[in-house]
Amino acid sequence: MIRLDRYLSKRVGIKRKDVRLLLAQGRVEVDGKRATDIGRLVSVFDRISVDGKVTQHRVRRYLMLNKPTGVVSATVDQQHTTVVDLLAKDCRIGLHIVGRLDFNATGLLLLTNDGRWSQGISQPDNKLLKRYRVSVDKPLTAEYIRTFERGMHFAYEDIITRPAQLTILGDYVAEVGLVEGRYHQLKRMFGHFDNKVLSIHRIAVGALQLDDQLLAGQSRDLTAAEVTLIASKEGTQSAVRTAA
């Protein structure tokens, strides 16, 4: 957010004291309405025009992508294909990633140009549940469920992980729900049992589930309802109930 007078001073190239005259003459509009308050706060997504000429009009973008294996969760990389490289060139501008996936992990990845939205989703205190389907090398037992629920001690950071939900889907496949994202957390948690993780596929973030119509590498815009739901308390509680 920035004050309107500061924005106009930089954008139009006039002194801030002269902005008052522009406003008094009715020459400035914000989101189609005449602006009168020089101290008004505007964001990068407000449509601002001076003398009918648009000086700023950035549209909010929210996308889900089905990340394939072997792709980097980054916007730029000199050696590997990035998730942004998978998008059409006219869709890449200004986007950043909301929560990373490891190089060989697959599944739901979110991208946006709205920093406030992504920050809200990424805050650990929001306890937004992320669900993963994990395949491992050795058979799973009920002891995994109890240990994940208790949390584990990571000696390197000297922390106890938050309780995690583990549901056994088959001898070698589990669904895991996490509300945090420690470095290689899933691999390290299964490593506690000396059980190698073979694949990780993220299927949901909060109440937002990966669209099963999206093939690996494909993406689509989120609906307005999805954008609101994923960051809401209702969406978080719904995700917890679904996982349970």
The CATH code of the domain that includes 41 is 3.10.290.10
Quick one: pLDDT band at residue 6, thresholds 50, 70, 90? very high
Task: Tell me what pLDDT residue 113 has.
Answer: 93
Based on the fold, state whether residues 137 and 117 are members of the same structural domain: no
Q: Do 61 and 112 contact (CB within 8 A), yes or no?
A: yes
Structural domain contains residue 11: yes
234: enclosing H helix or E strand? helix 233-243
Task: Tell me what pLDDT residue 233 has.
Answer: 53
Structural domain contains residue 241: no
Based on the fold, state whether residues 143 and 201 are members of the same structural domain: yes
- Looking at the predicted structure, is the pLDDT value of residue 238 above 70? no
Could you tell me the CATH number of the domain that includes residue 167? 3.30.70.1560
Q: Angle at Cα 81 formed by Cα 58 and Cα 118, nearest 5°?
A: 40
Structural domain contains residue 240: no
pLDDT tens-place string over residues 39-81: 999 988 889 999 999 988 888 999 999 999 999 999 888 899 9
Q: Which residues contact 38 (CB under 8 A, 6 or more apart)?
A: 3, 4, 5, 16, 19, 20, 23
Please state the rounded mean pLDDT for residues 117-139. 89
More confident position, 24 or 231? 24
Based on the fold, state whether residues 74 and 110 are members of the same structural domain: yes
Structural domain contains residue 122: yes
More confident position, 232 or 200? 200
Based on the fold, state whether residues 134 and 179 are members of the same structural domain: yes
Structural domain contains residue 141: yes
Based on the fold, state whether residues 182 and 136 are members of the same structural domain: yes
Q: By mean pLDDT, which of 62-66, 125-129, 159-163, 235-239 is the weakest?
A: 235-239
To the nearest whole percent, how much of the chain has pLDDT over 90?
Answer: 69
To the nearest whole percent, how much of the chain has pLDDT over 70?
Answer: 94
Task: Tell me what pLDDT residue 242 has.
Answer: 40
Based on the fold, state whether residues 85 and 109 are members of the same structural domain: yes
Domain boundary among 22, 40, 56: 56
Task: Tell me what pLDDT residue 186 has.
Answer: 97
Structural domain contains residue 220: yes
Based on the fold, state whether residues 109 and 151 are members of the same structural domain: no
Structural domain contains residue 211: no
Task: Tell me what pLDDT residue 237 has.
Answer: 42
- Looking at the predicted structure, is the pLDDT value of residue 137 above 90? yes
Task: Tell me what pLDDT residue 91 has.
Answer: 85
Token pair for residue 108?
A: 């739901």
Coil, helix or strand for 111? strand
Which residues constitute the domain of residue 14? 2-56
Please state the rounded mean pLDDT for residues 183-190. 95
Task: Tell me what pLDDT residue 244 has.
Answer: 40
Q: By mean pLDDT, which of 87-101, 102-116, 226-240 is the weakest?
A: 226-240
Place of tokens 């470095």: 183
Domain count, the chain: 3
Based on the fold, state whether residues 93 and 109 are members of the same structural domain: yes
The answer to whether 85 is a known catalytic residue is: no
Could you tell me the CATH number of the domain that includes residue 88? 3.30.70.580
Based on the fold, state whether residues 222 and 105 are members of the same structural domain: yes
Quick one: pLDDT band at residue 231, thresholds 50, 70, 90? low
Based on the fold, state whether residues 10 and 35 are members of the same structural domain: yes
Based on the fold, state whether residues 115 and 158 are members of the same structural domain: no
Based on the fold, state whether residues 138 and 201 are members of the same structural domain: yes
Quick one: pLDDT band at residue 225, thresholds 50, 70, 90? very high
Which member of 102, 125, 171, 212 is catalytic?
Answer: 102
Structural domain contains residue 105: yes
Mean pLDDT of the chain: 90
8: enclosing H helix or E strand? helix 4-8
Coil, helix or strand for 36? coil
